[in-house]
Amino acid sequence: MTDPQRPPSERARVRREPERARYDRATIDAILDEALYCHVGFVHDGKPVVIPTIHVRVGDDLLLHGSPASRMIRSITGHPVSVAVTLLDGLVLARSVFNHSMNYRSVVLFGTAEVVEEPALKLEAMRRFTDALVPGRWGEARVPTDLEVRSTTMLRIPIAEASAKVRTGPPEDEEEDLGRDTWAGVIPLRLTAGEPIPAPDLRPGIPPPGVPS
Amino acid sequence: MTDPQRPPSERARVRREPERARYDRATIDAILDEALYCHVGFVHDGKPVVIPTIHVRVGDDLLLHGSPASRMIRSITGHPVSVAVTLLDGLVLARSVFNHSMNYRSVVLFGTAEVVEEPALKLEAMRRFTDALVPGRWGEARVPTDLEVRSTTMLRIPIAEASAKVRTGPPEDEEEDLGRDTWAGVIPLRLTAGEPIPAPDLRPGIPPPGVPS
């Protein structure tokens, strides 16, 4: 069992506001599963590069995919990588400027990306990527051909060195600011889906899938 | 004038799907200004680290701030850094799994972070950070004391080596998939604000500020 209070490694230890740190897999997995995309950091020519991409969690691994020609894919395969996932939950408005903050849930993961070679595993990972967008989508869309599977590089990063950081709740103001006539509280933020926009060449009579809640 | 078709440097050149690349400052600035947070990548002990944080653009600089004790602040001051900002605009559902995508607007910036020393400039930057959360908030909240300004490290990264990447519009399916009975199109996604939640210790009769649209 992971101890929710103990970082798995020194580099995965949350430094700032350690009271917001969570090291348990349940918290980490829930954040990874809810987020639709992540930011991948790697070192290229000795310098840092950050690129957004989509991810999916399968058991104890975070999976990334891309074209074999991608700089990101080539730079991280077999090399150290850091992946961050952030969900913004609200603006925290305090009575003092200094105590303004945000409510959020984030995960920072460290590891080395390894290639997933087995075609059956790659196909299963592609199913997860697809159903993460809209549950059940895999059963509606045309599944990948062997060539499409072969032309996708799938990478796996073990979820071993990870930390979550979570801020919830109201602002924390200094005692001497509580008497001010300034509104204080939280403005919740949420990613919401709008009305589906059919493709211009969609044949008539095909209903849209259930949209993510 | 920046040529919208030309990258400012080789490392800032968009590799994958170069038709989505934009190098003009108007596009880059609009994305930086709309986003409420970014992901900062740096090298620590030779390995990559990615951390979410908030940013604000002031003219030709991207500003970050934090505690002088922060690992991120200490690691990037005077060192190469990469900052990525991503706005997710929609899920792109194609008839084939392989052509599923997302609509998004992102910026990737490379540079070196320099300390902003002047107290007046730091205070002005703090005003921008505050008003970026809720326009006009600076005029409502208690402004920072000299001590609060001194205990905040403000960093500036020139917006010189940056690229934007933008995907919009419907899915692009293969000709042979167009006849399928699979819905195709875009599900728009948007960060929306909910009802303000007053702090438990808020004095009665103070209305919430206008929430970001």
DSSP string, A86-123: EEEEEEEE-SBGGG-EEEEEEEEEEEEBEE---HHHHH
For the stretch B47-103, pLDDT in tens is 999 999 999 999 999 999 999 989 899 999 999 999 999 999 999 999 999 999 999
d(C-alpha A113, C-alpha A132), whole Å: 21
Ordered alpha helix ranges (H), chain A: 25-34, 71-76, 119-133, 146-150
User: Residue A196 is inside which H or E element, if any?
Assistant: none
What is the percentage of chain A residues whose pLDDT exceeds 70? 96
Q: Does A18 touch chain B (CB under 8 A)?
A: no
d(C-alpha A157, C-alpha A172), whole Å: 37
- At A6 the pLDDT is 84
By the 10 Å C-beta count (0-12 exposed, 13-18 middle, 19+ buried), B147 is classed as: exposed
Q: Which residues pair with A166 in a beta bridge?
A: A105
d(C-alpha B145, C-alpha A99), whole Å: 12
Q: Which residue of B has its CA nearest to A201?
A: B178
Tell me the two tokens of residue A30: 């829930």
d(C-alpha B146, C-alpha B210), whole Å: 29
- At A126 the pLDDT is 95
d(C-alpha B167, C-alpha B29), whole Å: 17
Q: Look at residues A113, A122, A132, A127 and name the one whose alpha carbon lies nearest to residue A33.
A: A132
Cβ(B13)–Cβ(A51) under 8 Å? Answer: no
Q: Which residues of B104-141 are buried (b: 16+ CB within 10 A; e: fewer)?
A: bbbbbbbbbbeebeeeeebbebbbebbebbbeebbebb
Q: Look at residues B13, B60, B79 and name the one whose alpha carbon lies nearest to residue B160.
A: B60
Give the CA angle between residues B70, B9, A112 to the nearest 5°.
50
The answer to whether residue A188 scores a pLDDT higher than 80 is yes
Flag if A196 and B208 touch (Cβ within 8 Å): no
- Per CB-CB distance under 8 Å, the chain A contacts of B207 are 183
CA distance from start to end of chain B:
32
For the stretch A23-38, pLDDT in tens is 999 999 999 999 999 9
What is the nearest CA distance from A3 to chain B, expressed in angstroms? 23
- At B124 the pLDDT is 93
Domains of chain B: 18-167 (2.30.110.10)
| Chain B residues 163-182 with CB within 8 Å of chain A | 170-171, 173, 177-182
The answer to whether residue A213 scores a pLDDT higher than 50 is no
Average pLDDT value for residue range A110-128 = 94
> In this predicted complex, what is the ipTM?
0.94
The answer to whether residue B213 scores a pLDDT higher than 50 is no
- Per CB-CB distance under 8 Å, the chain B contacts of A182 are 140-142, 206
